Amino acid sequence: MRFTRSLLALAAAAVTVAMPTEAAEPAGYRVVSSIKTDGQGAIQGLRVDQAARRLYVARAGAVEVVDIDSDKKVGQVAVKGGATAVAVASDLRRGFAASASDNSITIFDLSTLQVLKTVKSTGTEPSALEYEPVSKRVFVANARDGKLTVLGAESGDIVGSIALGGKLRGIGSDTRGDVFVADVERNVLHVVRTKDLSSRGSIATWPATKPTALTVDDKERRIYVSTGSGRLVVIDPDIGQMVGYVPIGSGDAGIAAQYAPNRFVRLFVPSADGALTVVQNAKLTASVESKLPSSGSRSTAVAVDGKSGRAYLAGGSEVLVLNK
């Protein structure tokens, strides 16, 4: 069964969706502190390893590693070119950093932070990474030429590639054998089977356009997609269509999800206009919890620590820490 739906069918489904709710006041989360970094260039990606209590900061020439209990830098990983994204395979003690300028993926040891291997992507401008623990594969979204590169997480070898077309940005996976890849040019999520890398079609992000980042709530079967058109779209992957949306800031947007034991709690969605929208989840209904009109950053790189509830947002030469 293919996921593509006509606009008419989507419009009919959207009639039953509750309208998004705005927060009365921009209260709630705010910048409470910052973590200084000493690398060069803008921070392009953030990733929290909650179990190891580490924050990985991707930037030019390196991935800086921060202890999130002390907010102190504990090391770094050398990366060719500018690091754009980080993925962590905690079960394999492996980390992966994409370099868009070098078209490569650096594989490193999580314990020693030593580089184990650097491999060239099958596509151009790798922009997002996703480790899928069931297949033990790392999926790499290449922004410029629409190719999805696949690595064996243990070996670090390229094990496959699929040409999806468009311009690929965010990527996420579920535990049922699917990977979802945002296509900012075609306004869809590509759906790819992890087992044989076959395409299962696509899901439209209508009424939003320019999908840039996503996260998958596998338990409640929802995909949350931040877009460049001022909307966070909620998609049901089982029926292949939009089931709701929430207003966010304008321009490209990032996304990070906070989970409590056994349930999804909230999303942190920074936009290129500097706004940070915090979206809460209640009974499968997403709504704005609070909004920070100006976070002091125009970056879309964001991560969250589910244990402390703190969110991390890329600043100019520092990482901004947000909390209530």
Among 182, 166, 177, residue whose Cα is nearest residue 224: 182
pLDDT of 4 over the 80 cut: no
Among 243, 242, 244, 241, residue whose Cα is nearest residue 4: 241
In a domain, 81, yes or no: yes
In a domain, 84, yes or no: yes
The number of domains in the chain is 1
Residue pair 107/95 in contact (Cβ under 8 Å)? The answer is: yes
pLDDT of 1 reads 44
Residue 165: domain span: 7-22+44-250
Q: Residue range 205-232: average pLDDT? A: 97
Read off the tokens for 125: 């401008």
What confidence tens digit (pLDDT) does each residue in 264-281 have? 899 999 999 999 999 998
Conformational region of residue 146, where left means phi above 0, alpha means psi within -120 to 50, and beta covers everything else = left
Residue pair 154/133 in contact (Cβ under 8 Å)? The answer is: no
Q: Residue range 159-178: average pLDDT? A: 96
φ, ψ of residue 316 to 5 degrees: the values are: -65, -65
Q: How far is CA 247 from CA 73, 160, 224, 234, 285, in A?
A: 35, 37, 13, 11, 13
pLDDT of 23 reads 41
What confidence tens digit (pLDDT) does each residue in 23-68 have? 444 458 999 999 998 878 889 999 999 999 999 999 999 999 999 9
In a domain, 319, yes or no: no
pTM: 0.91
What is the domain-level CATH number for residue 86? 2.130.10.10
Q: Give the confidence band of 9 by pLDDT, cuts at 50, 70, 90.
A: very low
Beta bridge partners of 131: 138
Beta bridge partners of 90: none
In a domain, 317, yes or no: no
